[in-house]
Structure 1
């Protein structure tokens, strides 16, 4: 089994859509260890719908849209990270984190601690909006300080070539491409066989060769 971890510099930056594109492109299985908040769809349901590939059940499925430790406490439970070992699947597993790296799982551990324990290659998703240089470089430092192998940064949003180049230069990291915002990815617009618009955009903009080399 091969594993790649998708994490982000923050919440709501598009890493679930990126994960769906990656799962679809590499015919992988998706896993979300902790889902905090259930609105119209969970992240697992979104990825399965957009990719047409299987998604495993979440390790923890929590109702409150908040940090995992707060969501768990609201339900009277504590997230036990020892139950979140990477599941065995045939082929490639894409595991997506929640929020950013420094999000607490419980009162003792951060999500970064779990990712570091997995020792799997990591893709860092970053928005291209103002503030991304600071957020992304801090996230890269945190990953490296924890001993996590970083594949590169995947940008999401409108093109900002100078900003993207600055991050890769100072971060000493590969530029994996930039996925634009794609309209029409809502539930009504995409069937269970996958989303052609996402597949086309992902294939046109993301350097899959660099990602495959890390596996």
Structure 2
């Protein structure tokens, strides 16, 4: 069955792109990052390619912005006005994984947050969260922000060392499915990532 899944996070640099790459490969899906802010190292499409997503399954961004900061500010610095009508999930033959930028309430434009964009799309969202200190607060706030806008939440995917109490507490208080946890890998390669995803997640929870 083909479907579209949005991958968002509780913050930036928490492993969202690594998880999105693993999910894209596991589903045999296409990958799309609608707005890339920060392109010194090529952006997230380079990262997901390095983690085994075929180039033929990586779709071009709607916007590539130079500065690694919130898209609304990065666009301003580049002298670009982001047209929200361009941020529509592409029609493709197969499943699609869409990765947001930063956290749920990061501004895409001065008047539109990523959570607002997800509400327009109406596709199920996977919230990627750290297991480190502070994750309960960040995760529950993100869940509340999504739910307030009617965004369907598929569940929470954790990244990091196991912290059982935090993971259980977020799932219970947030009333969300605990999808699994991607451990920190000593060597991050396409093979090690695929094995970790297979060992820690059930593909039927996504398919």
The structure carrying a bigger strand percent of its residues is 2
| Aligned partner of residue 178 in structure 1, secondary structure | strand
1:211 corresponding residue in structure 2:
206
**Once the 2 structures are TM-superposed, how far is the Cα of residue 208 of structure 1 from its aligned partner?**
1.8
| Alignment RMSD | 1.0
**Distance apart, 1:89 and its partner CA:** 1.0
| 1:41 match | 42
CA–CA separation in structure 2 for the residues paired with 1:148 and 1:109? 15
Structure 1 alignment gaps of length 5 or more: none
Unmatched segments (≥5 aa) in structure 2? none
Matched, 1:103 2:113: no
Q: Distance in 1 between matches of 2:197 and 2:82?
A: 34
Name the structure 1 match of 2:193.
198
Task: Tell me how far apart the structure 2 counterparts of residues 90 and 181 of structure 1 sit (CA, whole Å).
Answer: 33
Q: Please state how far the C-alpha of 1:82 moved relative to its aligned partner.
A: 1.1
CA contact (8 A) 1:45 1:55 kept: no
Mapped to 2, the partners of 1:207 and 1:9 lie a distance apart of 22
State how far apart, in whole Å, the 2-side matches of 1:46 and 1:6 are. 15
- Where does structure 1 differ by over 6 angstroms across 4 or more consecutive aligned residues? none
- Alpha carbons 1:102, 1:110 under 8 Å: kept: yes
SS of equivalent residue, structure 2 residue 107: coil
Match of 2:95 in 1: 92
Deviates more, 1:201-210 or 1:163-172: 201-210
Which residue, out of 132, 135, 142, partners 1:139? 142
Matched length: 204
Per-residue deviation, 1:179 = 0.1
Give the alignment of 1:1-215 within 5 angstroms. Answer: 1-53=2-54, 54-185=57-188, 190=189, 195-212=190-207
Contact 1:23-1:51 at 8 Å conserved across structures: no
TM-score by length of 2: 0.96
Displacement after TM superposition at 1:149 (Å):
0.7
Cα offsets for 1:177-208 (capped at 9, x unmatched): 000112333xxxx5xxxx11110000000122
Which whole-Å CA distance do the structure 2 matches of 1:50 and 1:170 have between them?
33
How many angstroms does 1:126 deviate by?
Answer: 0.2
Give the Cα–Cα distance (whole angstroms) in 1 for the partners of residues 134 and 68 of structure 2: 24
* Whole-angstrom CA distance in 2 between matches of 1:135 and 1:143: 12
- TM, length-normalised to structure 1: 0.92
